[in-house]
């Protein structure tokens, strides 16, 4: 024990010197098409790594498919042992890996840092009879099938939030009438056109419609009320559900603990740079920086919770 502790502290002593050297080229895998959430995080991190002088150049690689599983598979295969390769993944990936029975999983990559989060908001059309969350939950309890709730793809964070809310209402999530929409546009149209009873999405995505009074926000999935957002939390309205859609970065499989620590240090420096901060403010991202072992513990907890929900919803095969 003592020997290993000594070893680690020696490494820690050495790392600052290693980290000061500028990395020639970083490779960041965004397992989605250009323009989406993963891609935006990958490119913003790349810019921040360069702006803070830690990397000379950064290459962002896009590999879309299967909620991130395809990009992850390629990352695992190609980057083994590469200390300057990062993979962007998040809550969406956790859900996708669980439902798809993917051959790759988070055990094959090295957790570095959780970078940001977004909380969800549940909205109803302005013409809806539901004025508050309590109205909606009461109607749901009385007749679950009659309340259609839209959101992102099946098994994703929005679906998980809806099923957790259902549980809190004492209704088997299996009875949930969930309508998945891919890509956001169709879902927004459905709620604006009064086609569905309620819709769940990231706050940033719906903020403009809420501000313009085109939809009514019933609750956000944060733990406490945010000063800038005039929407009550689910928790304060008696539905104790807190979920975040988070995104983070992972290192290649088979890197040494020293290399992992070096990556953590570089990523944290980048995220604290003005370049990242400006971007985060623009995108309404929450600062949810968490690194190394505590990030790993959070990840395992999230995987466990997602797996349980996916099983209860009888998703996947």
Partner 1 sequence: MESLNALFSLGFATALTPANLLWALLGCTLGTAIGVLPGVGPAVTVALLLPVTQSVDPTGALIMLAGVYYGAMFGGSTTSILLNTPGEAGSIVSALEGNKMAKMGRAGPALSTAAIGSFVAGSIATVLLTLLAPVIAGFALQLGPVETFSLMMLTFAAVSAVLGNSPLKGFIALLLGLAMGLIGIEGQSGQSRFTFGLLPLIDGIDIVVVAMGLFAVGETLYTATYENKIAGRIESLKGSFWMSKDDWKRSWKPWLRGTAIGFPFGTLPAGGTEMPTFLSYSAERKLADEKTRKQFGKGAIEGVAGPEAANNAAVTGTLVPLLTLGIPTSATAAIMLSAFQQYNIVPGPLLFDTNPELVWGLIASLYIGNVMLLVLNLPLVGLWVQFLKVPRPLLYGGIIVLATMGAYALRQSWFDLMLLYIIGVLGFLMRRFDFPVVPLVVGLIVGPMAEKHFRRAMSINEGDLTVFLTHPISLLILLVTAAILVLPPLMKRRQVLLDSAR
Binding to partner 1, residues 66-125 (CB under 8 A): 66, 69-70, 73, 99-100, 102-103
Kindly indicate which of the ranges 129-137, 211-219, 257-265, 268-276 contains the residues binding partner 1, using the contact rule CB under 8 A. 211-219
Q: Which is nearer to partner 1, 25 or 77 (CB)?
A: 77
Kindly indicate which of the ranges 82-90, 182-190, 216-224, 230-238 contains the residues binding partner 1, using the contact rule CB under 8 A. 182-190
String marking each residue 278-317 x if it binds partner 1 according to CB under 8 A: ----xx--------------------------x----xxx
User: 22 near 53, Cβ under 8 Å?
Assistant: yes
DSSP state of 254: T
Q: How far is CA 32 from CA 7, 65, 71, 107, 247, in A?
A: 39, 6, 7, 20, 13
| Beta-sheet strands, E only, within 126-194 | 148-151, 177-180
H or E element, residue 89: strand 85-90
Chosen residue from 27, 28, 41, 43 binding partner 1 by CB under 8 A: 43
How many amino acids of this chain bind partner 1 (CB under 8 A)? 49
Cβ contacts of 30 within 8 Å, gap of 6 or more: 36, 38, 39, 41, 42, 43, 60, 61, 62, 63, 71, 88
Q: Which is nearer to partner 1, 63 or 168 (CB)?
A: 63
Chosen residue from 49, 164, 209, 241 binding partner 1 by CB under 8 A: 209
User: 5 near 38, Cβ under 8 Å?
Assistant: no
Using alpha carbons only, what angle is made at residue 251 by residues 242 and 104, rounded to the nearest 5 degrees?
Answer: 75
Q: How far is CA 29 from CA 128, 188, 273, in A?
A: 42, 29, 21
Kindly indicate which of the ranges 3-11, 209-217, 243-251, 291-299 contains the residues binding partner 1, using the contact rule CB under 8 A. 209-217
Binding residues for partner 1 (CB under 8 A) = 33-35, 39-40, 43, 63-66, 69-70, 73, 99-100, 102-103, 145-146, 148, 153-155, 177, 179-180, 182-186, 188-190, 192-193, 195-196, 208-209, 211-212, 214, 282-283, 310, 315-317
């Amino acid at each position: 024990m003592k020997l290993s502790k000594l070893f680690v502290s020696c490494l820690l002593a050495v790392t600052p010197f290693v980290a000061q050297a500028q990395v020639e080229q970083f490779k960041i895998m965004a397992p989605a098409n250009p323009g989406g959430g993963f891609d935006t995080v990958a490119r913003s991190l790349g810019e921040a790594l360069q702006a803070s002088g830690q990397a000379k150049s950064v290459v962002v690689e896009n590999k879309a498919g299967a909620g991130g599983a395809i990009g992850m598979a390629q990352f695992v295969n190609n980057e083994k042992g590469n200390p300057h390769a990062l993979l962007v993944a998040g809550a969406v990936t956790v859900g996708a890996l669980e439902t798809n029975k993917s051959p790759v999983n988070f055990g094959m990559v090295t957790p570095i840092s959780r970078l940001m989060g977004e909380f969800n908001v549940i909205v109803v059309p302005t013409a809806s009879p539901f004025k508050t969350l309590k109205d909606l939950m009461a109607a749901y309890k009385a007749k679950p099938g009659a309340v259609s709730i839209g959101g992102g793809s099946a098994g994703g964070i929005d679906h998980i939030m809806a099923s957790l809310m259902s549980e809190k209402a004492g209704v088997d999530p299996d009875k949930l009438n969930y309508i998945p929409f891919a890509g956001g546009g169709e879902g927004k149209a459905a709620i604006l056109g009064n086609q569905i009873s309620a819709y769940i999405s990231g706050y940033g995505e719906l903020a403009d419609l809420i501000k313009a009074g085109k939809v009514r926000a019933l609750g956000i999935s944060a733990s406490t009320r945010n000063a800038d957002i005039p929407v009550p939390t689910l928790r304060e309205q008696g539905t104790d559900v807190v979920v975040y859609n988070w995104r983070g970065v992972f290192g290649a499989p088979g890197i040494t603990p020293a290399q992992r620590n070096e990556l953590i240090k570089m990523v944290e420096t980048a995220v604290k740079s003005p370049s990242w901060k400006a971007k985060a403010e623009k995108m309404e991202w929450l600062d949810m920086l968490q690194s190394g072992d505590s990030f790993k513990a959070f990840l395992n907890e999230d995987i466990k919770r997602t797996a349980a929900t996916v099983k209860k919803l009888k998703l996947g095969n």
